[in-house]
Amino acid sequence: MAWFWTGIMFAFLGAITMLINQRYRLDGHLISGMRGVGVGILFFPAVFFVEFPKSPLFWGLVLLEAFISTFYNARIYAAAARYGAGSTSRINVLSIAFGLVFWWILDSQRFFRLWADQFAFWGILVSLIVVGAGFYLMHKSSSADRPGELAFMMPAVVVLAGMMINRKEIMEHAEFFSAAVYYCTAAIFLSGVFNLIVYGLKNSFADLKDRLGEIGIVEVGVFMALASSGTIFFGNMSSLYVPDPAYISAFTLTTPVWVMAINRFFGIKDSVSPVSVAVMFLGLAFLLYFASAPTY
């Protein structure tokens, strides 16, 4: 059950990263670029203490992760700046359903093994339905959506489901610490570089240079890199040990609760019904139980 506690930390630190750009409202590509490069720099010294992964598949998956995380991170932090961390985190949890379907398509044998145990199968489905109901009630009871919010976030939701599956595959094709280190120094670093290039192309590289020369902007990048380093580390650990990547997506359901709590602590209005929170955690508790079913 180590993946439970690492999943909680993954969700908490994920909330912190969204709240950072809710506070500073930087361009999504800019803050994601600084985040990626910063994470790569922070993890780089560790490459001298881990084995170099030799699997071509590992490096192919890492490169794929760099491209898809370039889009996802820019979109999620842009949404946090535009719509707020609370609303963004609530929509983001829709990746659970997509992740479950994607994983069953990619690993049909796992699906049929689960189907053979009807108790576990229906238990997981009902749990996810309860979790989804909690999400719906939470989102409905929160502040009204701004126009275009769901459409803006939906591509990121689908991409996140694929990212969680790809991350699990990366962790399984190399020794864990080697995979975790090179995931950050290669995939995340490259995603940062790609996002900075995109920002430069959309605006100008002169503007990019000026922005990176501002102390306040660099400080935000450092904060984001530190929080993201923890998020990635715990996310990788969870991906390694969890029986299904959809369960990691389930932990993102606690991210809106962390966002709500921190916003409330600082007096930022983002009211959510306590009943919806209780329903969500009830579904998560049942999901944890059925996820541990012996046949699964």
Residue 179 has pLDDT above 60, yes or no: yes
Q: How far apart are CA 88 and CA 78, in angstroms?
A: 10
- Average pLDDT of span 221-238: 89
Separation CA 74–CA 155 (nearest Å): 12
Stretch 102-123: mean pLDDT: 78
Spatial CA neighbour of 142 closest among 79, 208, 83, 188? 83
263, pLDDT greater than 60: yes
Distances (CA, A) of 37 to 65, 118, 125, 168: 15, 46, 39, 22
Report the alpha-carbon distance of residue 268 to residue 294 in Å, rounded: 44
DSSP H or E stretch at residue 186: none
Q: Which residues contact 194 (CB under 8 A, 6 or more apart)?
A: 33, 36, 66, 67, 70
**Phi and psi for 240 in degrees, rounded to 5?**
-70, -40
The region of weakest confidence among 107-111, 121-125, 178-182, 224-228 is 107-111
Question: In this predicted model, what pLDDT tens digit does every residue of 76-109 receive, in sequence order?
Answer: 999 999 888 887 887 777 776 677 677 777 777 7
- What is the percentage of the chain residues whose pLDDT exceeds 90? 41
Condensed to tens digits (0 to 9), the pLDDT of residues 232-257 reads: 888 777 767 776 655 666 676 678 78
- Calpha distance 11→254 (Å, rounded): 6
pLDDT confidence of residue 51: 94
SS3 146: coil
pLDDT at residue 101, as a whole number? 73
Spatial CA neighbour of 140 closest among 288, 234, 271: 271
Q: Identify which has the larger pLDDT, 115 or 36.
A: 36
Listed in sequence order, the residues at least 6 apart from 2 whose beta carbon sits closer than 8 Å to its beta carbon are 237, 241
Contact predicate 255/89, CB 8 Å: yes
Q: What is the CA radius of gyration of the chain?
A: 19
> Per residue in 260-280, is it b (16+ CB within 10 Å) or e — as a string?
bebbeeeebebebeeebbebb
Pick from 133, 139, 160: which is nearest to 76 by CA? 160
pLDDT, tens digit (0-9, with 9 covering 90-100), for 133-144 = 877 787 676 655
CB atoms within 10 A of CB 105: 10
pLDDT score of 292 = 60
DSSP 8-state class, residue 142: S
- Residue 67 above 90 pLDDT? yes
In this predicted structure, what is the pLDDT of residue 244? 63
Phi/psi-derived region of residue 53, left when phi > 0, alpha when psi is between -120 and 50, beta in every other case: beta
